[in-house]
């Protein structure tokens, strides 16, 4: 299973800790008179934790969609609060610990800015408190089409780190990997400069990064 870019170190550290815990648990079971179900219980917990870590930081191969007249979902998760705003639309994607945590660019363009904001780690279900959470705000501008995508990675109670791969001034392609939220949280997306567009109807309940089209537009419209 391929590990997400920039996550090898943290996976190695966690794996090392798990190895030490495993050896310690085995020694305890051997040296102390413990019931047999303890052995299976400890083994089960260790295997589950190992699977969860590798599942969390996986980077599966994905045949993404390129749609020059569309906006593609930047993350896997539950699609929420989709609404039209002035000259565009906004939405949120709530990521669970079991979603793929890789984030993708919703449009072609140039990274105009990446702003990291320190903050807390409230559960994203508490909306008012989650506004204070740590985040990365990535702004991507497509000058040719005159559209801007403001893509915000918001950390949560488990998502302790937001990571952006590109740097300011880098050119990114639609559906290209541009970051990861470790252990998942929420993605805020705001796209502006769309003079004539349609949100997908019906709006899907779940989104998949690089695969789900959120909106289509006519680049020739005035």
Residues serving a catalytic function are 185
Question: Which tokens hold the place of 178?
Answer: 């541009």
Nearest CA among 175, 169, 164 for reference residue 138: 164
Distance from C-alpha of 22 to C-alpha of 28, rounded to nearest angstrom: 10
Residue-wise burial string across 77-109, b where 16 or more C-beta atoms lie within 10 A, e elsewhere: bebeebeeeeebbebbbbbeeebbbbbbbbbbb
Helices (H) and strands (E) in the chain, counts: 3, 14
Question: Which tokens hold the place of 206?
Answer: 């779940």
């Amino acid at each position: 299973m391929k590990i997400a870019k920039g996550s090898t170190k943290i996976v190695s550290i966690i794996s090392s800790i798990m190895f030490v815990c495993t050896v310690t648990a085995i020694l305890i079971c051997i040296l102390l008179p413990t019931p047999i179900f303890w052995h299976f219980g400890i083994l089960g917990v260790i295997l589950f934790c190992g699977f969860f870590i590798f599942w969390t930081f996986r980077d599966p191969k994905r045949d993404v969609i390129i749609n020059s007249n569309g906006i593609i979902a930047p993350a896997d998760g539950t699609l929420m609060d989709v609404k039209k705003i002035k000259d565009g639309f906004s939405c949120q994607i709530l990521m669970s610990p079991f979603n793929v945590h890789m984030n993708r660019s919703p449009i072609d363009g140039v990274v105009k800015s990446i702003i990291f904001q320190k903050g807390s780690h409230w559960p994203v279900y508490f909306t008012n408190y989650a506004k204070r959470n740590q985040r990365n705000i990535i702004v991507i501008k497509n000058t040719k089409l005159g559209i801007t995508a403001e893509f915000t990675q918001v950390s949560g109670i488990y998502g302790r780190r937001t990571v952006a791969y590109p740097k300011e001034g880098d050119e990114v392609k639609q559906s290209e990997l541009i970051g990861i939220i470790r252990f998942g949280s929420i993605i805020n997306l705001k796209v502006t400069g769309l003079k004539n567009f349609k949100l997908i109807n019906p709006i899907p309940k779940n989104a998949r990064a690089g695969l789900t089209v959120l909106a289509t537009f006519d680049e020739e419209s005035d």
